[in-house]
Amino acid sequence: MNKRFSGKTVVVTGGAAGLGRAHALAFAGEGAHLVLLDINEAGLAETRGLIEDRGSTASTHRVDMSDERQIIDFGKAILADHDRIDVLINNAGLHMGEIARGFSGMGLAKWQHFFTVNSFAPLLLAEAIQPALAKAKGIIINKSSMASYNPATAYGITKATLNIFTHAMATQFAADDIRCVGIAPGLMATEAAQQGVDPENWEKLKAMQYVKRQGTAEDIANLAIFLASDEGSFINNQVILCDGGNMMRGWRG
């Protein structure tokens, strides 16, 4: 069977679990070689094993996305091994259990940590591997959130900033034929997504969806596959909501 990403290289941040692992497995199923980044080495090893079980290959790299030097060093190392990178999935992010809480009294240090990981790191990594993305005429996919459209929390504000960066990156990298798009998931059945919302509010938010089922990590990964494929090659400079229609009901956090 013809696989859409055979012979192609896909970089996924936050690849140790959750949405990152789902992206990695989806692209592996389409024949891609995966380059996985995370701070959770045990989780990375597990994801790599699952990829190999699917007959594909992967390399793993411990990289702290809050550390600019580690991002730059990774970029240098990966460019030495790969002259082309077809897809960059900027999936790593954090919310510290505060998806649904306000930001009063956070303090500058915590703000800086949020912005570094959720907003600045995707740009830094894209710049670090830009030559390889340009060689492949690749795509950058930034993982945003539906919370970015209701930025009443620190998490939402940093994801709204990432949306702006997504548009800026699409403009900046267009000369190299690198596309940049964002995906803004809604309520996903992942451990990380559920950490910041109490069960009662989670059910209320889910009830607001037009699609009456729980969103899954595979929903987001399948959208990423389409966007990175030839079928999605005319889509650029967009942030696409994948939320079961939740935002159309006026999500209020």
Q: Return the C-alpha torsion angle 101, 196, 44, 184, nearest 10.
A: -70
- Is the overall model pTM greater than 0.85, yes or no? yes
Residue 95 covered by a domain: yes
The half-sphere exposure of 153 on its side-chain side, counting CA atoms within 13 A, is: 22
Residue 2 covered by a domain: no
With CA atoms as reference, report the closest residue to 101 among 152, 149, 162, 158.
Answer: 152
Outline where DSSP puts E strands in 63-200: 87-90, 139-143, 179-185
Range of the domain at 143: 9-243
Residue 253 covered by a domain: no
Q: Quick one: pLDDT at residue 251?
A: 45
Indicate if 155 belongs to the active site. Answer: yes
Residue 59 covered by a domain: yes
Residue 89 covered by a domain: yes
Enumerate residue ranges in the chain where pLDDT < 50: 251-253
Helix (H, G, I), strand (E, B) or coil at 113: helix
Cβ atoms of 20 and 12 within 8 Å: the answer is: yes
Question: Beta strands 33-38 and 57-62: pairing type?
Answer: parallel
Q: Quick one: pLDDT at residue 71?
A: 99
Task: Render pLDDT for 104-115 as a digit per residue (tens, 0 to 9).
Answer: 778 899 899 999
**Structurally, how many domains does the chain consist of?**
1
Active-site residue, selected from the candidate residues 149, 155, 165, 173:
155
Q: Quick one: pLDDT at residue 128?
A: 99
**Greatest pairwise CA separation for the chain in angstroms:** 55
Residue 3 covered by a domain: no
Residue 127 covered by a domain: yes
| Domain harbouring 226, CATH code | 3.40.50.720
